[in-house]
């Protein structure tokens, strides 16, 4: 299963065409500083918007005085929640069936919540005027700790919801409780562990922003915005603002990283639209870093208990888990299944077990809303962390090697498609070779010997393993939607007379390199070189409807659409070729880029010849329309299930408790690989994310609800200095239902790496009797763990 396509090439103008390493088509503009991001948009007469945010976590708004701000130089308008309420615009629906305040009317519910906005001639005038708005708050007790949110005397945060008398958000369960309890009752060994996956933030390099331009004469709204889902956002604006959908154009230009942070609709976007309608001018709103960190979609914040039951000789029988999910003040994420926890259903990991059960309770707290899928395909990161940590706890309890325990319990290749105990169907997998390759690359046995020697000398070296299966590519429209919108993706391919092509996608790249990989998919199918294929995306006026890029869904869903639309074009080209060569279609043979007459390879026409004929003078075969183009809407029949084996080697300084990731081996299996160079980049980025979450990142709050991670001085994210040279490998297990066998990969490394790192640190601390320590494993946390004083964050 280990092979690399031999047709790799580095020169974009060279054959062969199709899959393989290829420099990114988008990079010339990025490396020359010629990208066009939202903040680069300048329109004549454009005004600037700044948002006043709540300084406190929970308070009643008594009064707002905007008069001084209105009189400030350059100010064109000051808008409060009360003014929006008059238009019915103070609240908006979220993408997971809750509502969120655009501007607070009654109360503020988290520090950083939007309270009012100023529109002025420039950004400075707008920001200066914010300081002149006088808000009188009646401060209320906040709920900060999710564990206390359901206490009977806890202040009620969401009293805007009718009849709401507590902070309960939702309950969700999956699996079979009774069957699981029965297996646990007869198991030789049961291990349980409490785990916290702390609140982290996607922190994309570009913060969120928008430019709204409403034309009152023809009623058209153009909105440039930092969105990962332009079509879904457009539909929602149409529903909320009452502007007809065909009069709204959402443009997501170059985007400086999304990572799930740019999936939700933020109040700022709506404010920019309102501001443009009110002033009759284009209006720009651009967050600063602190605004992004304190008010936009965070991720994780799960308090989990994992329990695992096994036989004495290491056969895993059942897994049970209980989760308390902190969703902040509004359930403001996007969720393709009814409960924004649904993808947590893969918490049984890569193991063939008898029973499983999960119970989850979600609560509201006075923290920023979200729970976004920060490189986690909707809660898979938490699930993988849970299962890979408790499997390690079990190995420890059994005195078994963690690699051996995993190998013993893997779902076997002949069991695929494999239906899990919570009802998911893993499409394909071949886990053992992936694990073995990672162990070979690491020199696993040798590492264990080295560790033994070091332990004898009092040195702290740890080896951590994680093995993950993800569910990505949401999703089949029969069981997945966002706010009632099905998750199919459109794709259009048009071949011009000279044989150059344009492919229009409904997904939207934020740095993943779609302009390259989607050109490669089309190239592989119709043999036009990638350099001759323009990929258009991110503009609702110029691309077909679809739900956007997140949850590693672009390749599984839109990638399939691109391959199929190209095959449709090829089918038509075959008919035209049969006319050109005066043979029947059955007598034609396709070889990348041309049709040959069977047995007479000298008689052939290229796809470029066919394109000219399709548009040219002269007859086409009976019943064939002119032109060479097609369109499709692809509804996936299942998700794709990539997997991977990760091994991390750490050294812990016994004097400072500092963790150094010395080596990291990542073997990924994402099925057919379109562009190995891009995949490696995706994996490197995700592994770096993992180091951040495992060792550094946490959005913490003090007891009053002040966000303690409001700048990149306080919220540490990793740089090249904190990460090792990644060692990557791969296996290829194609997806059986995807037309080219590809699975998603964009989030794999973020999902798989944190448990490998934590497992490695815990392994290093074994001499201290440590069985678990919660992320982020900062020196002080590791120090506490070494001294038996670990406490939950
Ligand atoms: N690929 C290949 N092959 C295969 C797969 C894949 O080649 N097999 C490639 C593609 O095509 C692209 C990439 O790779 O290009 C990726 O892919 P995917 O997996 O499909 O994914 P997408 O959809 O595209 O994307 C998304 C992701 C996500 S989800 C995230 S987080 C992140 C990632 O992506 N983000 C980002 N990565 C990245 N990168 C960058 N640069 N930036 C960003 O932002 Mo979420 O849900 O949103 O949380």
Give the distance between the most distant pair of CA atoms in the chain.
Answer: 86
pLDDT at 117 over 80: yes
Q: How far is CA 712 from CA 84, 257, 341, 717, in A?
A: 33, 16, 29, 7
| Alpha carbon of 552 to ligand 1 centroid (Å) | 5
Mutational pocket test of ligand 1: of 371, 679, 682, the residue with most ligand atoms within 8 Å of the beta carbon: 682
Dist. CA 322–CA 319, nearest whole Å: 10
Mean pLDDT, to the nearest integer, of 434-447? 98
Local confidence band at 5 (pLDDT 50, 70, 90 cut-offs): very low
- Cβ of 551 closer than 6 Å to ligand 1, yes or no, is yes
Q: What is the dihedral of CA 32, 36, 42, 48, to 10 degrees?
A: -110
Instruction: Decide: 291 and 267 in contact? Cβ < 8 Å.
Output: no
Cα 554 to ligand 1 centroid, rounded to whole Å: 7
Q: How far is the CA of 446 from the centre of ligand 1 (A)?
A: 34
Tell whether ligand 1 has an atom less than 6 A from the beta carbon of residue 229: no
Does ligand 1 come within 6 angstroms of the Cβ of 260?
Answer: yes
Using the Cα atoms of residue 674, residue 676, residue 680 and residue 683 in order, give the sign of their dihedral.
Answer: positive
Ligand 1 close to Cβ of residue 555 (< 6 A): yes
689 lines ligand 1 (CB under 6 A): no
Can you tell me the mean pLDDT for 40-56?
98
Pocket of ligand 1 contains residue 511 by CB under 6 Å: yes
Q: Write the DSSP symbol of residue 375.
A: T
Out of 24, 555, 672, 732, give the residue to mutate to test ligand 1, the one with the largest number of ligand atoms within 8 Å of its CB: 555
DSSP 8-state secondary structure symbol assigned to residue 7: -
Contact 160, 327 (CB under 8 A): no
Task: Give the ranges where 109-214 is alpha helix by DSSP (H).
Answer: 123-130, 177-186
Query: Does residue 224's CB lie within 6 angstroms of at least one atom of ligand 1?
Result: no
> What is the pLDDT averaged over residues 1-6?
39
Which residue's alpha carbon is nearest to atom 40 within ligand 1? 511
Per-residue pLDDT at 452 exceeds 80: yes
Q: What is the mean pLDDT of the chain?
A: 95
Token pair 């700790």 is found at 145
> In sequence order, which residues have a C-beta less than 8 Å from that of residue 550 and are 6 or more positions away?
228, 229, 258, 260, 263, 334, 373, 377
Mutate to test the pocket of ligand 1, among 257, 512, 546, 732 (most ligand atoms within 8 A of CB): 512
Is the C-beta atom of 24 inside 6 A of ligand 1?
no
158-162 LR contacts (CB < 8 Å, sep 24+): 158/109, 158/329, 158/364, 159/106, 159/107, 160/91, 160/99, 160/101, 160/106, 160/107, 161/99
DSSP output for 684-746: HHHHHHHHHHHHT----B-TT--BS--STTTS----GGGS---EEEE-----SSSTT-B---T
Pocket lining: 608 vs ligand 1, CB cutoff 6 Å: no
Q: Is the pLDDT of residue 48 over 50?
A: yes
* pLDDT of 608 over the 90 cut: yes
State how far the Cα of 97 lies from the Cα of 447, in Å rounded to an integer.
49
User: Residue 333 has what pLDDT?
Assistant: 85
Task: Report H helices in 380-513.
Answer: 380-398, 402-409, 431-442, 444-456
Q: Which pLDDT does position 306 carry in this prediction?
A: 98
Mean pLDDT, to the nearest integer, of 382-391?
98
Mean pLDDT computed over 40-59: 98
Treating both helix axes as pointing N-terminal to C-terminal, what angle do 560-581 and 514-526 enclose, rounded to 10 degrees?
30
Q: Whose CA is nearest to atom 37 of ligand 1?
A: 746
Dihedral angle computed from the Cα positions of residues 608, 612, 614 and 617, in that order, rounded to the nearest 10 degrees:
-160
Give the SS3 label for residue 332. coil
Q: Is 473 in the pocket of ligand 1 (CB under 6 A)?
A: no
Find out whether the beta carbon of 257 lies less than 6 Å from any atom of ligand 1.
Answer: yes
Q: Is the dihedral of CA 667, 671, 676, 680 positive or negative?
A: negative
User: To which residue do tokens 């640190």 refer?
Assistant: 761
CA 645, CA 437: separation in Å to the nearest integer?
A: 8
The tally of CA atoms less than 13 A away on the side-chain side of residue 217 is: 1
Residue in 433, 380, 524 with CA at minimum distance from that of residue 730: 433
Q: Report whether residue 513 contacts ligand 1, using a CB cutoff of 6 Å.
A: yes
**Distances 650 to 391, 437, 647, 756, 767 between C-alpha atoms, Å:** 19, 20, 10, 10, 15
Q: Is 682 in the pocket of ligand 1 (CB under 6 A)?
A: yes
Using CA atoms in the order 265, 268, 270, 274, what is the torsion angle rounded to 10 degrees?
A: -170
CB-CB contact of 698 with 299 (8 Å): no
Which stretch of 126-130, 175-179, 626-630, 785-789 has the lowest confidence by average pLDDT?
A: 785-789
674 lines ligand 1 (CB under 6 A): yes
Mutual angle of helices 431-442 and 402-409, in 10-degree steps: 160
679 C-beta closer than 6 A to ligand 1: yes
**Measured distance CA(142)–CA(402) in Å, rounded:** 43
Helix or strand run (H / E) with residue 564? helix 560-581
Whether the CB of 258 sits within 6 Å of ligand 1:
yes
How far does the centroid of ligand 1 lie from the alpha carbon of residue 367, in Å? 29
Q: Ligand 1 center to residue 702 CA distance, Å?
A: 35
Cβ 686 under 6 angstroms from ligand 1: no
Query: What average pLDDT does this structure show over 78-86?
Result: 97
CA of 292 to the centre of ligand 1 (A): 22
Q: Give the other-Cβ count within 10 Å of 35's Cβ.
A: 16
The pTM score is 0.97
**Is the CB of residue 503 less than 8 Å from the CB of residue 641?**
no
Q: Look at ligand 1, atom 36, and give the residue with the nearest C-alpha.
A: 259
Confidence of residue 483 (pLDDT cuts 50, 70, 90): confident
Q: What is the pLDDT of residue 635?
A: 97
Beta bridge partners of 594: 591, 606
For residue 377, the CA-to-ligand 1 centroid distance in Å is 11
Q: How far is the CA of 586 from the centre of ligand 1 (A)?
A: 39
Please give the Cα distance from 439 to 457 (Å, whole number).
Answer: 25
Ligand 1 centroid–CA 686 distance in Å is: 10
Ligand 1 and 228: CB distance under 6 A? yes
User: Which residue out of 524, 548, 552 has the highest number of ligand 1 atoms within 8 Å of its CB and is therefore the one to mutate?
Assistant: 552
Query: For a pLDDT cut of 90, what percent of the chain falls above it?
Result: 94
The CA-CA-CA angle for residues 453, 454, 456, to 5°, reads: 70
Number of the ligand 1 atom closest to the C-alpha atom of 373: 48
Q: For 266-291, how does the pLDDT look when each residue is reduced to its tens digit (9 = 90+)?
A: 999 999 999 999 999 999 999 999 99
Nearest CA to ligand 1 atom 5: 744
Establish whether residue 298 lines the binding site of ligand 1, counting it when its CB lies within 6 angstroms of any ligand atom. no
CB 442, CB 436: distance < 8 Å: no
CB 674 within 8 Å of CB 730: no
Q: What ipTM was estimated for this complex?
A: 0.99
791 pLDDT band (50/70/90 cuts)?
A: low
**Under a CB-based contact definition with an 8 Å cutoff, are residues 547 and 561 in contact?**
no
Give me the pLDDT at residue 793, please: 55
Mean pLDDT of 678-703: 97
- Residues 6+ away with beta carbon under 8 Å from 431: 350, 410, 411, 413, 467, 643, 645
Return the pLDDT at 315: 98
CA-based torsion, 519, 521, 522, 526: positive or negative: positive
Q: Is the pLDDT of residue 219 over 70?
A: yes
**Smallest CA separation from ligand 1 atom 39, residue:** 512
Ligand 1 pocket, 671 CB below 6 A?
A: yes
Residue 504 corresponds to which tokens in the numbers above? 């229009």
**Range 487-500 average pLDDT:** 97
| Integer CA distances (angstroms), 502 to 492, 493, 498, 536, 630, in order | 8, 6, 12, 7, 11
Which of these, 409, 420, 345, lies nearest to 377 by C-alpha position? 345
The mean pLDDT of 39-45, rounded to a whole number, is 98
342 CA → ligand 1 middle, Å: 21
Q: How far does the centroid of ligand 1 lie from the alpha carbon of residue 670, in Å?
A: 12
Question: If you take atom 33 of ligand 1, which residue's CA is the nearest one?
Answer: 746
Query: How remote is the CA of residue 212 from the centroid of ligand 1, in Å?
Result: 28
H runs (alpha helix) in 210-298: 230-241, 267-279, 289-295
Query: What distance in angstroms lies between residue 39's CA and the mean position of ligand 1's atoms?
Result: 23
The backbone torsions φ and ψ at residue 408, rounded to the nearest 5 degrees and listed phi first, read -70, -25
Residue 13: per-residue pLDDT: 45
Token reading at 277: 């309608």
Would you place residue 133 in the very low, low, confident or very high pLDDT band (cuts 50, 70, 90)?
A: very high
How much is the pLDDT for 371?
A: 83
Q: Which whole number is the average pLDDT over 565-593?
A: 96
Closest C-alpha to ligand 1, atom 38: 512
Give the DSSP letter of residue 147.
G
CA 720, 722, 728: angle at the middle one, nearest 5? 70
In contact, 331 and 101? CB cutoff 8 Å = no
Query: Among the listed ranges 1-5, 171-175, 329-333, which one has the minimum average pLDDT value?
Result: 1-5
Q: How is residue 607 written in tokens?
A: 């796809």
Residue 785: its H or E element: helix 779-786
Cα distances from 445 to residues 355, 362, 440, 524, in angstroms, run 33, 43, 9, 41
Other C-beta atoms within 10 Å of 650: how many?
28
Q: Could you tell me where the beta strands, DSSP code E, fall in 615-691?
A: 628-634, 643-652, 659-669
CA of 692 to the centre of ligand 1 (A): 19
Length reported for the chain: 793
Torsion of CA 243, 248, 254, 259, to 10 degrees: 40
Would the pLDDT of 14 be above 90? no
Which percentage of the chain shows pLDDT scores above 70? 97
Mean pLDDT on 428-456: 98
């Amino acid at each position: 299963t280990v092979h690399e396509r031999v047709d790799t090439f580095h020169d974009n103008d060279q054959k062969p065409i199709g899959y393989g390493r290829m420099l990114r088509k988008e990079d010339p503009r990025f490396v020359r500083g010629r990208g066009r991001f939202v903040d680069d948009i300048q329109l004549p007469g454009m005004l600037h918007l700044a948002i006043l945010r709540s300084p406190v976590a929970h308070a009643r708004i008594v009064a707002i005085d905007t008069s001084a701000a209105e009189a400030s130089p350059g100010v064109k308008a000051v808008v409060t929640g009360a003014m929006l309420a008059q238009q019915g615009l103070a609240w908006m629906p979220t993408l997971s069936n809750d509502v969120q305040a655009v501007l607070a009317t009654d109360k503020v519910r988290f520090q950083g919540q939007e309270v009012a906005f100023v529109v002025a001639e420039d950004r400075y005038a707008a920001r200066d005027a914010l300081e002149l708005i006088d808000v009188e708050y009646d401060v209320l007790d906040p709920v900060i700790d999710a564990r206390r949110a359901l206490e009977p005397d806890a202040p009620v945060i969401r009293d805007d919801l009718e009849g709401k008398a507590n902070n309960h958000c939702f309950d969700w369960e999956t699996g079979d409780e009774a069957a699981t309890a029965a297996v646990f009752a007869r198991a030789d060994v049961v291990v349980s562990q409490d785990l916290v996956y702390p609140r982290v933030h996607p922190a994309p390099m570009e913060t969120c922003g928008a430019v709204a331009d409403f034309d009152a004469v023809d009623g058209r709204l153009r909105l440039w915005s930092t969105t990962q889902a332009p079509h879904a956002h457009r539909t929602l604006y149409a529903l909320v603002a009452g502007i007809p959908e065909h009069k709204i154009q959402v443009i997501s230009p170059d985007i400086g990283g999304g990572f799930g942070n740019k999936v939700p609709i933020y109040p700022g976007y709506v404010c920019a639209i309102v501001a443009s309608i009110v002033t009759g001018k284009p209006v720009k709103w651009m967050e600063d870093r602190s605004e992004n960190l304190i008010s936009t979609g965070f991720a994780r914040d799960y308090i989990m208990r994992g329990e695992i039951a096994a036989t004495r000789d290491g056969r895993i029988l059942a897994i049970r888990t209980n989760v308390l999910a902190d969703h902040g003040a509004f359930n403001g994420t996007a969720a393709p299944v009814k409960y924004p926890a649904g993808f947590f259903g893969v918490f049984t990991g890569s193991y063939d077990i008898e029973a499983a059960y999960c119970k989850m309770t979600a609560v509201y707290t006075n923290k920023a809303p979200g729970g976004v899928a920060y490189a986690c395909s909707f809660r898979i990161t938490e699930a993988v962390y849970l299962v890979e940590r408790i499997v390690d706890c079990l190995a420890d309890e059994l005195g078994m090697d963690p690699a051996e325990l995993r190998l013993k319990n893997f779902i076997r290749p002949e069991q695929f498609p494999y239906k899990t105990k919570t009802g998911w169907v893993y499409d394909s997998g071949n886990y053992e070779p992936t694990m073995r390759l990672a162990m070979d690359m690491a020199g696993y046995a040798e590492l264990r010997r080295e560790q033994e020697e070091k332990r004898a000398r009092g040195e702290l070296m740890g080896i951590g393993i994680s093995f993950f299966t993800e569910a990505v590519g949401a999703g089949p429209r029969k069981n997945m939607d966002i706010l009632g919108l099905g998750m199919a993706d459109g794709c259009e391919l048009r071949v011009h007379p000279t044989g150059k092509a344009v492919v229009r996608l409904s997904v939207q790249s934020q740095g993943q390199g779609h302009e390259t990989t989607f050109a490669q998919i089309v190239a592989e199918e119709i043999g036009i070189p990638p350099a001759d294929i323009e990929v258009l995306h991110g503009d609702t006026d110029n691309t077909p409807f679809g739900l956007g890029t997140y949850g590693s869904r672009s390749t599984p869903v839109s990638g399939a659409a691109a391959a199929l639309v190209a095959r449709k074009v090829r089918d038509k080209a075959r008919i035209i070729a049969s006319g050109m060569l005066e043979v029947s279609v059955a007598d034609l043979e396709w070889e990348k880029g041309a049709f040959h007459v069977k047995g007479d390879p000298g008689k052939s026409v290229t796809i470029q010849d066919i394109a000219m004929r399709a548009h040219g003078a002269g007859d086409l075969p009976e019943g064939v329309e002119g032109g060479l183009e097609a369109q499709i809407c692809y509804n996936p029949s299942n998700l794709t299930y990539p997997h991977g084996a990760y091994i991390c080697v750490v050294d812990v300084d016994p004097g400072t408790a500092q963790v150094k990731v010395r080596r990291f081996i990542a073997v990924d299996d994402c099925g057919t690989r379109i562009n190995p160079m891009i995949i490696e980049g995706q994996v490197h980025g995700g592994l770096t994310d993992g180091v951040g979450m495992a060792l550094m990142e946490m959005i913490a709050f003090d007891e009053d609800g002040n966000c303690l991670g409001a700048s990149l001085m306080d919220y540490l994210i990793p740089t090249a200095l904190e990460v090792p040279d990644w060692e990557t490998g791969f296996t290829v297990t194609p997806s059986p239902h995807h037309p080219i066998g590809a699975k998603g990969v964009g989030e794999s490394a973020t999902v798989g790496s944190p448990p490998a790192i934590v497992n490695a640190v815990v392994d290093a601390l074994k001499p201290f009797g440590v069985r678990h320590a919660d992320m982020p494993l900062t020196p002080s946390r590791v120090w506490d763990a070494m001294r038996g004083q670990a406490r939950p964050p």
